[in-house]
Structures are given as C-alpha cells and as structure tokens.
Chain A
C-alpha cells in the first residue's frame, strides 16, 4: 500500500519562482491536509480539504494556494517563493469517521534561496 505519496522529496527554488507540491492518497480518505514543519517547531496547518471540492485555510495560509483536484489528489502551490517558506512540507489524509488518525507522507524538503 502506497498510503500518502508526495512529490518531489527535495526542491531548491530561487526567490520569486513558483512551484507545485503534489500529494496523492490511495486510502479513499475524504480529508486531506498540508502542513509545514520548521526546525524545532510543530506542524502548522497551511490548508485543508474536508472533502472533494472544498478547501479551507489553516493557521498559515499566506503565500500558498491549494487545489483538491479529485478525491485522491491535493496540491499545494507557491506562486512566488520566499526564503521564509523554506521548510519541510507534509501532506496528510484522514477518513471522515476518524479524522484524529491522519496518515502522513514522507515530506518535501523545500529550500528557497
């Protein structure tokens, strides 16, 4: 079982460049999430999607956009990358029945120079 798959695993961007982080899950989960994790910090919620067709802002949405392409896929876009967006990004998914048990991808380590 693949679970939650994120691509790419590593990325270096120049300030001002744009990119999209991809995430797909094969567990038929309704809810999907994007978090960022900075050194020594917990995970901060950027955006989430409680179901296909809906997205909502989390704690730190500024500078990001998301698309819930279908039930499987939830992408995160940086339109104009800034050094402050250097972080490890995690995608996660959970079922509607138990959204406490979220399944996480391996993470994308993004560096903006």
Chain B
C-alpha cells in the first residue's frame, strides 16, 4: 500500500550548520517525491520535488537525494537559518492518481 514515513521525529542543529532530514517510502510506483515545509500555524509550503528517474536535485540552499534501491529520500539544508525552523514533510505522488500522500514529519529546530 501507500506509505511514507520518517526516521526521526525531531532534529536540532546549530545555526549555520547543515541539516539532513530523512524519509523512507514504500510505494515504488510513485512518480515524484516532494518535500514540504510547515511553519507553526500555517499550511504546508512546497520546497522541492524530484522525479523518480533522478537521484539528485538542487535548489536554493536545499538538495534532495533519492535512493530508489533502499527507498530512501533526504532533504539537505545548507547553512541553516532561524527561519528554517519548521516541520518538514516528505510526500509522494502518483501522477496518474493526481494525489499526494504525506509522511509523518520531522520537526527541525535551529539553535542560535
């Protein structure tokens, strides 16, 4: 069945350090894997996605890595800033189904 989960529920890093948030998925048929950021009291916000035929994609200060062999997805945030403090969700999409399935989330805290 469809299932997206996360390894760690909380992560604390020092401001300026790099952070890595991990995610495991189970549906090999998913076309895209996506990362969302949710700040307190707000709806989730799209960060970056990666197609299933890719293994790496870079954005501004963020990199997503996809390892289909072990069904693992990660989000790397470079030089973390206080504004990066949020809950990060991975999600997967099956294009034909036009729907997104979300994982549990990881709370990232940036320490000054």
Contacts and interface: CB of A to CB of B under 8 A. Distances in A.
A102 B46 contact: yes
Main secondary structure, interface of B, reads strand
B104 A100 contact: no
A106 B99 contact: no
A48 B44 contact: no
A74 interface: no
A92 B46 contact: no
Nearest to A50: B98
Nearest to A92: B43
A53 interface: no
B42 interface: yes
Interface residues of A, number: 28
B92 to A, nearest CB: 9
Contact of A45 (B41, B45, B99): B99
Nearest to A104: B43
B95 A59 contact: no
B100 A100 contact: yes
Contacts of B4: 42
A42 B105 contact: yes
Interface stretch (A12-20, A33-41, A63-71, A76-84): A33-41
Interface string B15-34: 00000000000000000101
Nearest to A99: B98
B29 to A, nearest CB: 15
Interface string A6-37: 00000000000000000000000001010100
Interface of A: 4, 31, 33, 35, 40-45, 48, 50, 56, 58-59, 90, 92, 94, 96, 99-107
* CB-CB nearest 10 A-B residue pairs: A104-B43, A50-B98, A42-B102, A100-B49, A43-B102, A101-B46, A42-B104, A100-B32, A100-B34, A48-B99
